[in-house]
């Protein structure tokens, strides 16, 4: 096995190059910005490609030496991708809420993990019938709450050797704790983030679900490569194993089918979607992340696609108004 291959075209198709609006940038990211298009910063992928490769190599080397990787991403569009990737490569994750002291106060966290294990044992044993319905419900609620926060790290057994982070602004506490313990950090750093203190900086979009899925897939494959290398160095015959760890068959980055054509970038000059009723700069950025750059795309949305877009941007009742306005604007332009 080897480190996973990826191309600049894959990064482009996933929208990795789209940063935030120019006025929302962090000046410390200036060296990683290629330019501005329609008031949106464009990340310099010529730097992202080698820096992402360096991060993948660090992950693979860490796992090959017996180290543990902790995936951290609690924002909505990262939660599922983070959990799936960590499980696929037998590593650990936090995707619900970062509990302060998860790394720096591991002793207390270990106590909570022990409580989670005890509740699992009680609820799954035959003795659970000895409790009243109210007691079982109370324990189940406590168990579910602990599992959301600690389920991904309950088998970690100690602090990790490297953490991989999506969105350094949102996960700033996790990064501060890692730095305090001298744990290397590999992170996706968007144009509105601070790259200082990040061991392996990967400039790129940390909001688009397609981009997040791609990052997680590559990190998982790098960890699997590290596992295979470790077994090879110990003389383990992977092919003779009862349950060999196999590299997944390469597939294209998963993208949600929202019922319309999602463009990797604008065709020509992007339309100013902020002219649509109720569309702010932040909503326009979300629409761009979904591959929508033109009024014509909105005007052609089917009822199903309109519903999906509304759910994605959190404004399910607004899309019909956008469609009507887009049709009017296109008619006036003719």
Q: What is the CATH number of the domain that holds 280?
A: 1.10.150
Residues 176 and 96 in one domain: yes
* Domain assignment of residue 251, yes or no: no
85 and 124 share one domain:
no
Is there a single domain that holds both residue 110 and residue 66?
no
Task: Among 211, 234, 257, identify where a domain stops.
Answer: 234
Residue that is last in its domain, among 234, 264, 290: 234
Residue 207 within any structural domain of the chain: yes
User: What's the total number of domains in the chain?
Assistant: 3
Report yes or no on 2 lying in a domain: no
Shared domain check, 287 and 228:
no
Clarify whether residues 164 and 56 are in a common domain: yes
pLDDT in tens, the chain (334 residues): 578 889 999 999 999 999 999 999 999 999 999 999 999 999 999 999 999 999 999 999 999 999 999 999 999 989 999 999 999 999 999 998 899 999 999 999 999 999 999 988 888 887 777 788 898 899 899 999 999 999 999 989 889 999 999 999 999 999 999 999 999 999 999 999 999 999 999 999 999 999 999 999 999 999 999 998 888 766 655 555 555 555 444 443 444 567 888 887 777 778 888 888 878 777 888 888 888 988 889 989 988 888 888 888 777 778 888 898 889 888 887 6
- Shared domain check, 31 and 143: no
Last residue of one domain, picked from the residues 182, 213, 234: 234
CATH code of the domain containing 123: 1.10.287
Q: How many CA atoms lie within 13 A of 177 on its CB side?
A: 21
* Same-domain pairing of 96 and 31: yes
For the whole model, what pTM was predicted?
0.69
Tell me what pLDDT residue 244 has.
56
| 168: in domain | yes
Residue 250 lies in a domain: no
- Asked whether residue 246 is domain-assigned, the answer is no
Domain that holds residue 98: 8-102+159-234
79, 112: one domain: no
The answer to whether residue 262 is domain-embedded is: no
């Amino acid at each position: 096995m080897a480190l996973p291959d990826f191309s600049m075209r894959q990064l482009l198709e996933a929208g990795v190059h789209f940063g935030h609006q120019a006025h929302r940038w962090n000046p410390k990211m200036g060296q990683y910005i290629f330019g501005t298009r329609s008031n949106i910063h464009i990340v310099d992928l010529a730097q992202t490609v080698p820096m992402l490769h360096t991060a993948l190599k660090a992950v693979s080397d860490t796992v090959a030496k017996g180290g543990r990787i902790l995936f951290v991403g609690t924002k909505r569009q990262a939660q599922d991708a983070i959990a799936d990737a960590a499980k696929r490569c037998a590593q650990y994750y936090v995707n619900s809420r970062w509990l302060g002291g998860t790394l720096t106060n591991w002793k207390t966290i270990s106590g909570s993990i022990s409580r989670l294990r005890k509740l699992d044992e009680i609820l799954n044993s035959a003795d659970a019938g000895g409790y009243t319905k109210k007691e079982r419900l109370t324990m189940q609620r406590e168990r579910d709450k602990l599992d959301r926060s600690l389920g991904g790290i309950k088998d970690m057994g100690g602090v990790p050797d490297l953490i991989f982070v999506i969105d350094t602004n949102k996960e700033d506490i996790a990064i501060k704790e890692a730095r305090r313990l001298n744990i290397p950090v590999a992170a996706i750093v968007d144009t509105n983030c601070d790259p200082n203190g990040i061991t392996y900086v990967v400039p790129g979009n940390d909001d688009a679900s397609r981009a997040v899925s791609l990052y997680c897939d590559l990190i998982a494959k790098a960890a699997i490569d590290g596992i295979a290398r470790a077994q090879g160095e110990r003389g383990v015959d992977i092919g003779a194993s009862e349950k060999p760890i196999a590299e997944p068959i390469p597939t294209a980055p998963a993208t949600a089918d929202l019922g319309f054509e999602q463009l990797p970038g604008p065709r020509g000059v992007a339309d100013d979607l902020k002219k649509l009723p109720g569309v702010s700069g932040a909503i326009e950025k979300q629409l761009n992340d979904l591959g929508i750059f033109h009024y014509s795309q909105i005007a052609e949305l089917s009822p199903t696609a309109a519903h999906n877009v509304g759910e994605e941007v959190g404004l399910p009742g607004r899309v019909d108004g956008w469609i009507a306005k887009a049709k009017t604007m296109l008619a006036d332009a003719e």
